[in-house]
Amino acid sequence: MAVQPSAAQTAGLQHPELGGENMTATEMKRKQGNDELPCLSIYALWKECFYKKVQQRCLSLQERKVKMVREQKVKEEKVNKREPCDLLSREWLNNEKVSLDTRIYLLEKLLPTLIPGIEKLLMEAERKNVLAAEEPTQFNPFIFLGEYLIRHNPQYGIPTKPDPYLRGLKVVTEELKSEMAGTASERLARMKAEANVKHKEREELENMKSRVKLMRKEALAIQFKEWTVDVSGRIPIALVQSALRTFADVIASTATDVRKICDLKLEVVDTLEKKVNIDEFTEYVHFYTEHFPDDMFQEMLKHLCQCADDFGEAVRHDMWRQMFTFLFIDCDYAKVGLLNRPKILALLIDFYKRSPVSAQGGFCNPRQWPIIELQEIKPAHLWGGFDDQEVCEELNEKLILSQTEREILAGPVADDRQGSNVMRTSVTEGLSEQNGMSEAETGGIPKGENQAAESNDAKVREEDEDAVSELESTDLEVRDLDGDTIVTGKSAFHEDIETEGQTASASAVSQSEVFPASASTEYSLSRDGEPGSENQVEEEEFSLGREPDTEKNGEEDYPVSDREPGSEGQVGQQENWTAETTNATSEPTPEATAMASEDRALADRDVIGSKEDAPVAEVVKETPARKESVPKQHGSQIGQQARLQDGNLLQDQGEGPAPTDRQDSPAEDSQEVEVPWSGDFLTRDLSSRFSSYAERIPEDWKCEDTRFADLRPIMAEIQNCWASHTRSVFDESSLNVPQFVQLMETFVGEEVSLPTVKKLIVFIKREYKQTEEEKMKQLEKVHHSSRLAQQKLLLEALFEKWDNNASGFLDLEEVDAVLSTFKEGMEKETLRKAKKRLCSRYPQLSRVGKLSPKAFQTFLELLASELSGNEDEAIDNLVEFLNTSVEQSHTGFLQSSARRKWLHNIQQAAETSGGSIEPIYKAVFKALSQDAEAHGDNKKISAYIALLEENQLTPEQGQILLRYVACTADDAPYVLNQTLHRDMKGVSFVAVEEGKPIHVPRVQLHGNIHFWNHDRPVEKRKGSFLVLPLHDAHWRVFGILGLDTLRDQCETTIFLTHEISFYQGVSYAFSKAYHHICTLENVLQMTGNALDWLYTRAPSIHSVTMYLVEPGKDKAQNYTLRKMISIDNTGQKEIHSSPVLLRKENLLRDYLYKCIDSSGVIHTSVYREYHIAVPLRDLSGQALGLFDINIGHNQKLPPPEHKDLQKMLKISQAAFSEILKTALEETEPTYVLEPEHEANLRHAGILFHWCMLQDLRECVCKFSAESFADIKSHVEPPALVHSIVKAVLLLFHPDWKGSEEIENWSQCKLKLDDNLIQEIYCFEPTAESVQVQAELLLDCIAGVSRAAVWEHGSAPIEYLYHWVQTCLALAGSTRSTYSKKKTFLAPSGIEFQCTTK
């Protein structure tokens, strides 16, 4: 199809042309005297060697000359020291510029020779005594001087040794020359002067730099002291790198060159074991910041201080998380890695209610988001609620235990913990009715049952009094979690009783503030006593919701033991949180003692029973990390403060305290900083160390069952491709370790002290318990989930074995034919029923007859459910039967394994491309070329991808066309961006219409092939041609994948059957990858609409950033985060193309990864700004992305903005789920809006507002005419009420503009009736028959602000306001979206869909 490109020119240096410019290769060959052409690199070598030798000689001569000059200077310096210059020579220096030339001439040309002659003359005259003689002599001074000058001519004679005067003249001459303008000496002098000035400036600059360097190092050394160091005074260098790496992101304006410096100098250190001390820290950070200007360095210091604060908080919270981890292990009685989420929430609600108002401010309200999920909040309260108490009826229904469960929990409760130092905990039993409710309000509970409950409460109070008296008689020294003595039982007890007696009235007042008549209490907690040792006190039963018998007995109700965490004898302290006060205690009664003995016997039987039931727990894999395996750092903060398994704490959990209303003492608070950090984050890898058994497949499972021995290699290969189970799946009924730890950390918040956390831990430990029935249900659930995971792996391996050529599909009729022989054909009727059910679930199967891996698995599951007997055994039998029905050779296995690896690379490229399609094209062509080379006799193939597109320019040539968007490199000049129309030659549209591959073995004989490369001669147009249709999830064609062998000149270039099957697998893999990219684009578009909606309603939010999860490169780095889109408080949106964020490089932003790990909301402080991380979950509940919401320095948003944020997050999650559903093959798209039905598609641009409209419709349908009573009661309504009502009416009746129907309030309010509610519910703002006049509506609500609507406090007005805004947004975006013509035909009918049959 295309010609070969010309050979590329050899890159490199310009080589010398030897032997002349016109020297040919033949001449060069003849000169070499051999049969090979000389290599050009040889001629470059001699030149390089020549230059090297010449350079060495030049350098040696230069060094010799420099040495001589230096020696001469040394000699001159010695002479000057021995005989200094004569000062008389300085007389020639004066300021006369006129005689400067003359003096220079005399001093340079004449005097150096004349003055020595004069000296000789004088010396000769003195020797001959000429001056003293009275008579004339023969001596002639002129002749002597002339002879001397002739003999000492400087041009011919040897210069004499200069005397001091001459040497002085020489110096003076040089100075005079430097004053003579235009001379070389003057220029040289000027250059020397400039050099001296620059040298001084450079010295001053170096001195300044040295001072600045010293000051910066001192500042860094001071800043190091703000970090939390380990016992050796060091901090991990990975944390320092994380702080430096994030500096460019947090600083307001960073220069581009500084960003490059930041990126170049940092090396990744993915371990916390490499640490630095103060000197190493100073040198390391200074090397990184040495070129920073002063203002940027100050910003860096501030950033490091913020990072140090965040690191200190991370260390403190890591200690808490370790404590919560131990708490989870203690409460996980069934040892399945799961806890009951409704019970944990009920306990948090109880603990929160028992806390005083001052203490509640530090906790996150467990009845509000983010403790509860947005989906658990009623839509009516989300859209129309104005109070802070987000009461969720759905959640309350889950937390209320049935009467049967209460009766079960009233009996003996199994305890799996053994040993004298281990105590059993109690569990929340249920929720009782509100105090003083009528029978109707309590759900029809008879009055007799309430009286029975009161009598039970009286018995409980007696038991509590016995427990208190027993505590009084106990003289045990109690220690807190740090090992410090808290109190001795007997003495502290009497002290507390005296204190309570003195402040009884004050306690009563505080009770009424904390529990106002118990009217708001909606549940009760009961605790069954489980004494395990002689000093253990029978546990009390809290009943917060019962009616008091009489007012005078009010002080005797709600007995609560008040002790420090881990205490055994401390009761009723004044500081402790109390539900009431008790003024007297009594000795334990014989009945209580007998009951305790009976409970001990029951507990012993429970222990024996738990041992007998041990094999049940072995159904699943043992917990990977026990309490004993958690590393303990002796002397560390974790080891001393989070050792919950120690006996001093656990032996007292049965009677641990209720929370106290006192302020924590300074001594207790100081314990958080006295003990140094251990040097490691012990809960850093919670998600990998603690995962529920349902997410694991035992390693030895594949080896135990010998029936599937030949499937083991395939299963191992599939498991290597699976993502590791570090991301938790959200389940409304259970919590695993990361989710539980994160939930507890979110509840305690940022400002709660360590003693309060200890109280919470002991409270949860004491109150949480499980019955044997609940444990068995958990074990069965986990066993079932584990079995499903095993079956999934087994069925995938079976599918891969049947799909030997990696085509991605199996023929339904072929599978059906083999299964019809199962049990010698006795199950044909069962097979027919299963097949019918399968076709009803996958409607396209009856048309295409192809089974995808998921459809194949569903088929076998449906067949197993129809067969008699155990369903798991039936599936195993089916797998064994199908496994033996097909044979696979070793060569076939290796070929299939290689092909599956190449197909996996295509999907991997899509998931790591960040939304770019180019890596997918490259992966597709690479897979095709690798297979052609390995399994296709080394064919030379050309490949290209064409997508369907609407024909806008020439519709007479057909409604749609094929545009070639990608091809192999050699064919790019001829194929890329070409368009193929229906009226052109070719078989591609036949493949599109039939939805089946078209194979042309010999194109030269076909006659209907379109050749793009017209330069290829007709006689060379030989080869095979293959066209494969590209299907979406619902088997609708959206493009083609074409291959040909025209570039291969071999005779046999026909595509074989196994090659065609693999190419079908490539087309299927490309379709999935293309769907993934389209999904990302739709998510970005939906997110952009959501951020735009939030921006106008929440100005307090500084920024919102959306991240998506991408798979990591290895098991250790199992996933990464990619920043996709963000918006700031100015409304500026940005779509990012930055590289992924690695967890090991962002230790100080680990909250993002904790959000993904736990699939839960995180509220934390980072860089002294508060962030809320909210996960975006897929259809299974696993986090695929998150919103990072920066709310600035305010810990909470204003109520209206907080409510609108919740709305945006809930609607975004609903829209995200809708986008994911479009890619499911078993889910047919459902359309609601009229344009969706007409275009047979749903556009992501309207998806956010579409989901919002659905939510509002659900709220409006619960309205009635009485809901508008408050609005109608206004004689003259507020302006915003009238404006919103007018906008609603004008939306239905635009012709009412300016009429009395809407302008007169007395007539306008008559329209607020049931008919209006029905019209609102059925109104379709995007229908063609509806003409939404946006300008008219905007005139009505333009002056109505969101804050004013909130302050008005009317739920109907709130609904109507949001409904009008949503209708306006939908009407505008729908018309603009569906009127646009998209370039490409997107899959799944998301953008534009054209289905051909």
Question: Which pair of structure tokens corresponds to residue 29?
Answer: 């060959």
As a whole number of angstroms, the distance between CA 757 and CA 482 comes to: 13
Helix (H, G, I), strand (E, B) or coil at 1189: strand
Q: Which residues have C-beta within 8 Å of that of residue 1065, sequence separation ≥ 6?
A: 803, 805, 806, 807, 808, 899, 903
- Cα separations (Å) of 1218 from 770, 1089, 1255? 38, 15, 14
* The dihedral formed by the CA atoms of 1213, 1214, 1220 and 1224, expressed in degrees to the nearest 10: 150
> DSSP letter string over 337-363?
S-EEHHHHHHHHHHHHHHS-HHHHTTS
Residue pair 1065/1169 in contact by the 8 Å Cβ criterion: no
Q: For tokens 């300016």, what's the residue? A: 1298
Residue pair 775/434 in contact by the 8 Å Cβ criterion: no
**1239 φ/ψ angles, rounded to the nearest 5 degrees:** -90, -5
Q: Which residues have C-beta within 8 Å of that of residue 485, sequence separation ≥ 6?
A: 477, 478, 479
Bridge-based pairing of strands 1103-1111 and 1119-1128 is antiparallel
Residue pair 753/396 in contact by the 8 Å Cβ criterion: no
Q: Which residues have C-beta within 8 Å of that of residue 135, sequence separation ≥ 6?
A: none
Residue pair 714/801 in contact by the 8 Å Cβ criterion: yes
pLDDT in tens, 368-410: 998 999 888 888 888 877 654 444 444 444 444 443 444 434 4
Helix (H, G, I), strand (E, B) or coil at 103: helix
Question: Which pair of structure tokens corresponds to residue 1374?
Answer: 């729908």
* Amino acid in the structure at residue 630: V
> DSSP letter string over 716-776?
HHHHHHSPPTTSPBPBTTEE-HHHHHHHHHHHH-SS--HHHHHHHHHHHHHH----HHHHH
pLDDT of 1201 reads 92
> DSSP letter string over 94-139?
-S-STTHHHHHHIIIIIHHHHHHHHHHHHHHHHHTTTTT-SS--S-
pLDDT in tens, 73-106: 888 888 878 878 777 777 777 777 777 888 888 8
As a whole number of angstroms, the distance between CA 530 and CA 651 comes to: 12
Q: Which residues pair with 488 in a beta bridge?
A: 477
**Diameter of the chain by CA atoms?**
168
* The dihedral formed by the CA atoms of 539, 542, 543 and 549, expressed in degrees to the nearest 10: 80
Q: Which residues have C-beta within 8 Å of that of residue 24, sequence separation ≥ 6?
A: none
> DSSP letter string over 381-422?
HHHH--SS----HHHHHHHPPPHHHHHHHHS-------STT-
Answering whether pTM is above 0.85, one says no
pLDDT of 633 reads 38
* Amino acid in the structure at residue 1336: L
Residue pair 431/523 in contact by the 8 Å Cβ criterion: yes
* Amino acid in the structure at residue 69: V
- Using alpha carbons, select from 553, 544, 613 the residue that is nearest to residue 583: 553
Beta strand spans in 632-672 (E): none
Angle at 333 between CA 329 and CA 337, to 5 degrees: 55
Question: Which pair of structure tokens corresponds to residue 490?
Answer: 């007997």
Q: Of how many residues is the chain composed?
A: 1397
Residue pair 1125/1135 in contact by the 8 Å Cβ criterion: yes
pLDDT of 575 reads 37
As a whole number of angstroms, the distance between CA 1383 and CA 947 comes to: 10
Work out the burial of residue 115: count CB atoms within 10 Å of its CB; fewer than 13 is exposed, 13-18 middle, 19 or more buried. Answer: middle
Residue pair 810/803 in contact by the 8 Å Cβ criterion: yes
The low-confidence residues of the chain, meaning pLDDT below 70, are 1-44, 133, 157-160, 252-266, 386-675, 691-706, 722-725, 1114-1117, 1228-1242, 1374-1397
Query: Residues 408, 412, 416, 421: is their CA dihedral positive or negative?
Result: positive
CA 63, chain centre distance (Å)? 62
**1256 φ/ψ angles, rounded to the nearest 5 degrees:** -65, -35
**1172 φ/ψ angles, rounded to the nearest 5 degrees:** -120, 120
As a whole number of angstroms, the distance between CA 771 and CA 530 comes to: 13
* Amino acid in the structure at residue 1176: L
**1264 φ/ψ angles, rounded to the nearest 5 degrees:** -145, 175
> DSSP letter string over 1316-1376?
HHHHHHH--TT-TT----HHHHHHHHTT--HHHHHHHT-HHHHHHHHHHHHHHHHHHHHHH
As a whole number of angstroms, the distance between CA 1104 and CA 1084 comes to: 13
Segments in 400-555 forming alpha helices (H):
403-410, 447-472, 489-502, 504-514
Q: If residue 1293 lies in a helix (H) or strand (E), which one and from where to where?
A: none
- How does DSSP classify residue 788? H
* The dihedral formed by the CA atoms of 1296, 1299, 1304 and 1310, expressed in degrees to the nearest 10: -40
Beta strand spans in 972-1093 (E): 979-980, 998-1000, 1025-1031, 1037-1044
Q: For tokens 């291959």, what's the residue? A: 1043
As a whole number of angstroms, the distance between CA 846 and CA 631 comes to: 58
Question: Which pair of structure tokens corresponds to residue 795?
Answer: 């069925």
Rg (CA), the chain: 45
- Cα separations (Å) of 1105 from 370, 1121, 1216? 18, 12, 16
Question: Which pair of structure tokens corresponds to residue 73?
Answer: 């200077």
Number of neighbouring beta carbons within 10 Å of residue 114: 15
Residues of 624-643 as b/e, b for ≥16 C-beta within 10 angstroms?
ebeeeebebbeebbbbbbbb
Q: Which residues have C-beta within 8 Å of that of residue 1194, sequence separation ≥ 6?
A: 1100, 1170
As a whole number of angstroms, the distance between CA 687 and CA 317 comes to: 16
- How does DSSP classify residue 1141? B
